[in-house]
Every structure is written in C-alpha cells, then in structure tokens.
C-alpha cells in the first residue's frame, strides 16, 4: 500500500544497516518481499495491540525479515517463521486474515498472545507449516478439520485454550507428526482411532479435556511413542493390550479417568519407563510387581484405585531393580499386610505415600537406610508399634490414624517441618525434643493420650510454627506464655484438654493467627479483647471454659475485623451487650475477601482450616474437619448475658448462625434481625424475651432452623413456610403464642413440653445434608492427592466413618 516512503532517508539508512548486519551474519543476504511485508503489517493491524505494548514492528524498517519474531528464508526472502509468543495481541483471527497470505510459513508460534475467537479453517492453506503453537490463548470453537491438509506438520501445540468439539480424525493423516498436544481444552468425544496412523508420533498429550470412551487399540501402533498423557478425562474401559508394544514410553499418565480393569500386561517390557501415573481411576487387581523391575523407573503413582493384596518387590540379589525410584505413592487403595522391608531396596526413594490402605504391623526398620527419604505418609492404616528415631530426620512425617503407641527420641537435631501424629495411641508427656526442632512448622498431636504440661521450652521452636494442634489429649496446667515470637502461627488448637489459668497474652504477637480454639478446657479469664487487634483472626472458639466477667464495656468487641466464627458459649460471661458492639466485625459483613482489598491480602495465603471444629447446628453438636470460607457464626449461648439483643447484630449481613440461647436476654426480638438474609439457624430459646415474634423473620428464605422455646413470647407465629416447617418444640414453653395448629398438628394445639422435644428431633439424613452443604469443605490435600473438593463431617454422637464424604 505505502511503498513510497520506503525510499526516504531513514529507510535508506535502515536498509544500509540491515545489509551490514546481514553481511555479517549470513553469507546470502536476503530482503523481505514487498507483498509479505504488507501481509505482516496488515496482520498486525488486525489486532488492537495495546498502546502500552512496545510496538514489535517498526513500519519504517523496510526489511521485515529483521522484525522481531520474523524469520525469512535466506535465499528466497520468503517469511518462513513467525514467532510472537508472549506478545499480547488481544484480538481474534479474521477468517481471511492476511496471515494466510504468508504461504511459505513453516513455523507459526503465537502462544501466550491473548488471542480470542476461533481458529479459522483457512489455517489449512498454510500448507508448508511444520510447527504450529497456538497454546495458552483464549481460542474457542472447534479445531478446524482443515488442519489435516497440513501434511508437513511435525509439531502441533494447541494446549491451554477453550477449544470444544471432537478431536478431528483428519489429524490421523499427519504422518510426519512427532508432537501433538491438545491438553487443557474442553474437547469432547472419543479419541479418534485414526491417531494410530501417526507413525512418527513421539508425544501425545490430551490431558484435561472431557474425552470419553475407550483408548483406541490403534494407539498401540505408535511404536515410537515416548510420552502418553491422557489424565483428567472421562476415559474408561481397559488399557488396550497393544500398549505392550510401546516399549519406548518413558512417561505414562492416565490419572483421573474412569479406567476399570486390571493393569493388563507384564510391564517389565517398558524398559525406558520413568514416570507411571494411573492415580484416581478404578484399576483393580494386585500390586503391579513387574513395574518395579524397570531400571529407569523414577515415579509411580497408583493412588486412589482399587488395587488389593499385599505389596511385594521382586527380590534381586543385586542392589535394586529400580535404583532410580524417587516417588512411590500407593495411597487410597486396599493394600494389605506388612510394609515389606524390601521397600528400602529403592535407595533413592524421597517420597513414600501409603496413606489410606490396610497395612498393618510396624514401620519396617530398613527405612532408616533410605537416606534421601524426606516425605513419608503412612496415615490411615492399621500400623502399630514404636516409631523409630530415624524418621525425625525427614521433613514431612504423617502417621495419623494408626495405632502407634510410642516413639524414640531423636538422637540428633531434626530438620522436620511437618509432623502429624493425629489419632494414634501415643501417651506420656509432650515430646520435649520438639522444642529443638528449629524448622518445625506443622505439629498435630491431636486425639492421643498425651498428658502433663505443655512445656515452656516450646518457645524455642515456636517461631517457625504455622499450626499447633494439640486437640483432645490430657494436657494440663496453664497454656504457657510462649507465643511472643510466633509470628507465623496460623492456627492454635488446644481444645479438649485440661488446661487452666489465663489465656497467654503473648498471643497478641501472632499477627498471622487465623484460628484459636480453646474449647473444653478450664481456662479462667475475662474476654480477650486484646485479640481484637489480630488482623486475620477468622475463628475464635472459647466454648466450655471458665471465662467470666461482663461484656458490657464499649471496647469489648472492638477490632476482630476478620472474624467469621465466634463461639464463646458455655462460659460465665455476664452483663449486657453494648449496643454498637459489632460494628467493627467486617468479616461478618463481607462475603468474599476480593470485595475488600485489605482482606484480600490476608486471604491470599490463608489455607482452609484443617482443624476440626465442633458447632451446635440445629440443636445438635456436629464436628467438622473443614470450615467453608463463607460460613459465619455467632454462638453466645449458655452464659448469663442479659438486656436487649443489640440491633447492631443486623449489620452482620453474612451471618449464617446466631445462637443466643440459654442467657437472660429481655425485651423484644429486634425486627431488624430480618436483615440477616443469609441466616440459616436462629436460636433464641431459653431467655426472657417478650413481645411478638417479628413477622419479617418469615421473609428469611434461608432460615431452616429456629428455636424460640422457653421465653415469654406471645402473639401470632408468622405464617410463612419457614415457620410452618419448624418443629412444634421450637415454640414450646412461651407465654401465649398462637397460630401453631399447622405446626403442632391438629390434635395437639398447645405447644409440647420440653420432654417431647427429644422425640421430635429431625431425621439424621436431613441434618447431615444441611451441615454438609453449608459448612464443611475445601480444596485440600488428602493422602497427598490434590482433590478439588473434599469435606468430612460426622456426628459426634452416633455417626462415624460412613458419613465421611470424599469429593473427587
């Protein structure tokens, strides 16, 4: 279009320079062809490249072969390569894009270019293409079948877009193809069997799509295949026996599919195999012994399948059959028997995960020979005996939910970072050697039989702690004042022990603290107003202690800006609640921290609470292992608080649970409570509330449980469905409530007595569903497997493992 200014002065200078450069760099000077230069400029103009982006091409430089990302053929000057990776183009391809006029293009690399829209089928006109990389864009629509016209393609990378539809079977024609990745898209349908024609293929990457059906047997024809990655689809059936011919494979990943059947063949033929991952499927059968004869093997994930029986390793007189094995992960299967001593033949093992199987007996002593081991997870088995001191030189040791009874003390300094002894039969005093574990960050001793005091020396190592969980032991004496340097501490759970004395004031320094759980001890103190300054405190549980004193002073609840759950029930607090006392509780007025820049900072590095927690939901004690981020609760029940229910409670608009029962509140129920539109549980029973039940509460569509019993209420019960669904007992023992015919049944017009309350409790199923939906979940690591959503909840009284729900 604008050829004329090419001959201006600066143009001549740039030509001059480019000639010099090219004379220096290559023997045959080349010069960009005019029509190709125009095509490139038009292509650039098709995209609204952000002004802030440095312009990649200077229109005034005549030789487009010098432009960033452009390469020309030395002889002909044809543009043969365009590489604009990492340049934000921020636009979409035109169907007749001038790109397609670059007929000599061999390499097209436009990854991370922020391209939207569809891939035009005219791409199929660039018949000389050998490499195409459009990965990490926002491309949508189907993969054009015309890609099958590009017979010279050797490398196709379309991963990390939002492409839909089926994989075009025309891809099977590309018999030069060595690399094919369509991973991380939204592709559906089956894997076309024509892919078995890609006889040159070295890598096939189709993971993270929605592919279904069986893997075609023709894939077994890809004799040169080195990498097959099909993880995170919905593929099913068996692995074709023809796979046995793929002896050059070094990487197999079938993770997270619906494969059933046994691993069907003798795998020792995969003599190059390094990485074998079939986790999160439904594979059956016994431990694949043959795998562990492969000398190159480095990583094995069999987690989360239905493998059964004992594990055993082929006995070789030589050092080890798979000397390079670094990761052995067998969690969540049905393996039984002893953990064999021969596991230590794999001298390079760094990580062993046997979590959630039926292993029994002791930890093999030979494990001490594994000098590279750093991560050992034996949780959720039936292992027992003494834990040897050799484990304390690892960085992560998870022994939870077994029957271990004792451990040797370390003979040297430990480097341990995470130690989980939760739910075993350990007894005796607090392990003092922990005081010298300078890097320790996570310590969970909960649900054991530890007793005695929590030692003062813990202040030597507390500086590195993020989680200190001592729940449900028999620790006694005061909680020592050791937290002055604990600036990393996120959660402190000493609940269900026999601790007494004050709450240590040094907790004030724990600026990272998110959870404090003191439940069920004998701590004697006034309300810790001084915790109000902690910027990230989300959960404060003081329930069932000997806290006392009046809550009636203006500063009592000042601060606590991140608080989401506060439970001070079953103590001896008294006084009235100051009228504006809740105004600073921002955490209860904001749902998502993104809404609040200040809190966004805090939440970014916050984890979901791993700690279990008990709350009274619908009058039943429920224990939760994870707490949903959205959940907000206030439980002040079982104290001696009196006076009016403060109107300011109604500012806490994200509140799900409000329990003020068993106090001495007087006056009316504030109408403004009807502003709490998220409220699911409202318990005002056993107070001295008078007047009517505000009709507006009937508008709260989330409110599924309410209890007004044992007050001095009178007047009509609101007629809304929320009210009509309640148990009759929720209104019992009041002054003169009426309109209960529907709720209490025609026969029983007067509200029942409290004895009848017990019989009227709701079916467990319903309760559980409620709790599950509302409270407990969180993305988390379970047995070392990263699982999208997982939640565990059980009734304290009557429920056990059968109610554990695992999301996958």
Residues that bind ligand NAG (CB under 6 A): 5, 8, 48, 50, 58, 60, 88, 90, 94, 96, 98, 100, 122, 125, 172, 193-194, 196-197, 212-213, 218, 220, 234, 236-237, 241-242, 244-245, 258, 266, 268-269, 315, 427, 451-452, 647, 650-651, 672, 675
- Beta carbon of residue 541, minimum distance to ligand NAG (angstroms, whole number): 25
Q: Which helix (H) or strand (E) holds 477?
A: strand 474-478
CB burial of residue 25 (10 Å; 0-12, 13-18, 19+): exposed
SS3 label, residue 787: strand
Q: Which is nearer to ligand NAG, 434 or 602 (CB)?
A: 434
Q: Which is nearer to ligand NAG, 197 or 661 (CB)?
A: 197
**Angle at Cα 591 formed by Cα 590 and Cα 596, nearest 5°?**
50
Q: Which is nearer to ligand NAG, 258 or 502 (CB)?
A: 258
Residue with tokens 């891939």, as numbered in its chain: 119
Q: Which is nearer to ligand NAG, 76 or 427 (CB)?
A: 427
Q: Which is nearer to ligand NAG, 476 or 606 (CB)?
A: 476
Residue (of 610, 591, 607) closest to 599 by Cα position: 591
Q: Which is nearer to ligand NAG, 114 or 574 (CB)?
A: 114
Query: Given the DSSP bridges, would you call strands 491-493 and 427-429 parallel, antiparallel or unpaired?
Result: unpaired
- Beta carbon of residue 124, minimum distance to ligand NAG (angstroms, whole number): 7
Residue (of 582, 660, 573, 627) closest to 771 by Cα position: 627
Instruction: Please give the Cα distance from 507 to 489 (Å, whole number).
Output: 9
Q: Which is nearer to ligand NAG, 121 or 388 (CB)?
A: 121
Q: Which is nearer to ligand NAG, 8 or 760 (CB)?
A: 8
Query: Given the DSSP bridges, would you call strands 138-140 and 179-181 parallel, antiparallel or unpaired?
Result: unpaired
- Beta carbon of residue 288, minimum distance to ligand NAG (angstroms, whole number): 11
Q: Which is nearer to ligand NAG, 88 or 550 (CB)?
A: 88
- Beta carbon of residue 533, minimum distance to ligand NAG (angstroms, whole number): 26
Instruction: Please give the Cα distance from 395 to 415 (Å, whole number).
Output: 6
Instruction: Please give the Cα distance from 345 to 362 (Å, whole number).
Output: 18
Taking only Cα atoms into account, the Rg of the chain, rounded to an integer number of angstroms, comes to 34
Backbone angles phi, psi at 154, to 5 degrees: -115, -25
Residue (of 655, 591, 620, 564) closest to 770 by Cα position: 620
CB 176 within 8 A of CB 151: yes
CB 578 within 8 A of CB 641: no
CA distances, 548 to each of 457, 571, 616 (Å)? 30, 7, 21
Q: Which is nearer to ligand NAG, 3 or 237 (CB)?
A: 237
- Beta carbon of residue 194, minimum distance to ligand NAG (angstroms, whole number): 4
**Angle at Cα 580 formed by Cα 578 and Cα 585, nearest 5°?**
110
Secondary structure E strands in 295-357: 299-301, 308-310, 327-329, 334-338, 351-353
Q: How many CB atoms lie within 10 A of CB 12?
A: 12
Copy the structure tokens of residue 302: 């069999």
Residue (of 356, 361, 345, 374) closest to 439 by Cα position: 374
Instruction: Report the chain's terminal Cα–Cα distance, integer Å.
Output: 58
CB 261 within 8 A of CB 289: no
Q: Which is nearer to ligand NAG, 212 or 484 (CB)?
A: 212
Q: Which is nearer to ligand NAG, 236 or 667 (CB)?
A: 236
CB 777 within 8 A of CB 791: yes
């Amino acid at each position: 279009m604008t050829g004329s200014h090419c001959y201006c002065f600066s143009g001549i200078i740039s030509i001059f320079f480019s000639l010099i450069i090219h004379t220096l760099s290559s023997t045959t000077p080349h010069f960009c062809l005019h029509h190709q230069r125009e095509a490139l400029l038009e292509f650039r103009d098709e995209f609204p490249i952000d002004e802030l982006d440095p312009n990649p091409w200077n229109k005034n430089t005549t030789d487009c072969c010098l432009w960033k990302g452009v390469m020309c053929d030395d002889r002909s000057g044809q543009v043969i390569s365009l590489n604009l990776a990492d340049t934000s183009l921020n636009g979409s391809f035109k169907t007749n894009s001038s790109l397609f006029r670059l007929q000599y293009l061999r390499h097209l690399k436009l990854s991370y270019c922020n391209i939207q829209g569809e891939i035009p089928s005219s791409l199929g006109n660039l018949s000389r293409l050998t490499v195409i990389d459009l990965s990490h864009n926002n491309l949508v629509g189907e993969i054009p079948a015309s890609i099958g016209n590009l017979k010279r393609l050797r490398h196709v990378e379309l991963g990390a877009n939002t492409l839909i539809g089926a994989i075009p079977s025309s891809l099977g024609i590309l018999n030069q193809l060595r690399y094919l990745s369509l991973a991380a898209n939204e592709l559906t349908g089956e894997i076309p069997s024509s892919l078995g024609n890609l006889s040159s293929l070295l890598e096939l990457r189709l993971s993270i799509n929605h592919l279904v059906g069986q893997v075609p047997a023709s894939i077994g024809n890809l004799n040169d295949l080195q990498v097959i990655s099909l993880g995170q689809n919905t593929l099913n059936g068996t692995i074709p026996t023809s796979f046995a011919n793929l002896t050059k494979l070094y990487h197999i990943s079938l993770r997270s599919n619906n494969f059933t059947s046994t691993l069907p063949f003798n795998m020792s033929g995969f003599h190059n195999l390094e990485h074998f991952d079939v986790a999160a499927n439904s594979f059956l059968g016994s431990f694949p012994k043959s795998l562990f004869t492969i000398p190159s093997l480095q990583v094995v994930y069999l987690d989360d399948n239905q493998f059964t029986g004992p594990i055993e390793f082929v006995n070789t007189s030589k050092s080890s059959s798979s000397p390079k094995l670094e990761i052995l992960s067998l969690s969540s299967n049905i393996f039984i028997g002893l953990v064999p001593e021969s596991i230590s033949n794999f001298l390079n093992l760094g990580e062993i995960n046997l979590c959630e199987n039926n292993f029994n007996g002791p930890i093999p002593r030979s494990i001490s020979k594994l000098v590279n081991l750093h991560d050992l997870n034996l949780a959720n088995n039936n292992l027992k005996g003494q834990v040897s001191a050799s484990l304390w030189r690892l960085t992560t040791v998870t022994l939870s939910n077994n029957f271990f009874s004792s451990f040797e003390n370390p003979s040297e300094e430990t480097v341990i970072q995470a130690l989980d002894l939760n739910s075993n039969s350990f007894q005796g005093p607090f392990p003092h050697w922990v005081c010298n574990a300078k890097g320790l960050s996570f310590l969970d001793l909960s649900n054991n039989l530890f007793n005695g005091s929590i030692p003062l020396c813990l202040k030597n190592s507390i500086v590195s702690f993020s989680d200190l969980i001592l729940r449900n032991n028999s620790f006694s004496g005061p909680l020592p004042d050791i937290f002055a340097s604990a600036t990393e501490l996120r959660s402190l759970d000493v609940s269900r022990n026999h601790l007494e004395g004050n709450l240590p004031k040094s907790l004030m320094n724990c600026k990272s603290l998110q959870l404090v759980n003191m439940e069920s001890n004998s701590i004697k103190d006034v309300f810790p107003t001084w915790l109000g300054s902690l910027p990230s405190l989300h959960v404060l549980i003081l329930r069932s202690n000997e806290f006392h004193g009046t809550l009636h002073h203006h500063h009592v609840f000042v601060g606590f800006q991140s608080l989401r759950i506060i439970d001070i029930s079953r103590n001896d607090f008294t006084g009235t609640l100051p009228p504006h006392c809740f105004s600073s509780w921002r955490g209860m007025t904001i749902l998502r921290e993104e809404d609040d820049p200040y809190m966004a900072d805090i939440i970014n590095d916050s984890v979901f609470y791993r700690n279990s927690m008990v709350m009274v939901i619908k009058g039943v004690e429920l224990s939760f292992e994870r707490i949903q981020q959205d959940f907000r609760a206030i439980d002040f029940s079982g104290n001696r608080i009196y006076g009016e229910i403060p109107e300011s409670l109604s500012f806490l608009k994200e509140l799900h649970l409000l329990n003020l029962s068993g106090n001495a509140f007087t006056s009316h129920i504030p109408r403004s409570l009807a502003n709490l539109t998220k409220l699911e549980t409202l318990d005002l029973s056993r107070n001295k509330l008078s007047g009517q039940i505000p009709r507006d509460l009937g508008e709260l569509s989330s409110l599924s449980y309410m209890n007004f019993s044992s007050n001095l209420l009178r007047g009509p019960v609101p007629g809304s469905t929320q009210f009509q669904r309640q148990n009759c007992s929720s209104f019992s023992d009041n002054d003169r409530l009426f309109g209960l015919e529907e709720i209490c049944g025609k026969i029983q017009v007067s509200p029942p007595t409290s004895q009848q309350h017990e019989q009227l409790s709701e079916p467990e199923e319903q309760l559980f569903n409620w709790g599950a939906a509302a409270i407990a979940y969180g993305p988390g690591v379970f047995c070392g497997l990263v699982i999208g959503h997982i939640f565990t909840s059980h009734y304290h009284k009557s429920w056990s493992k059968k109610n554990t729900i695992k999301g996958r």
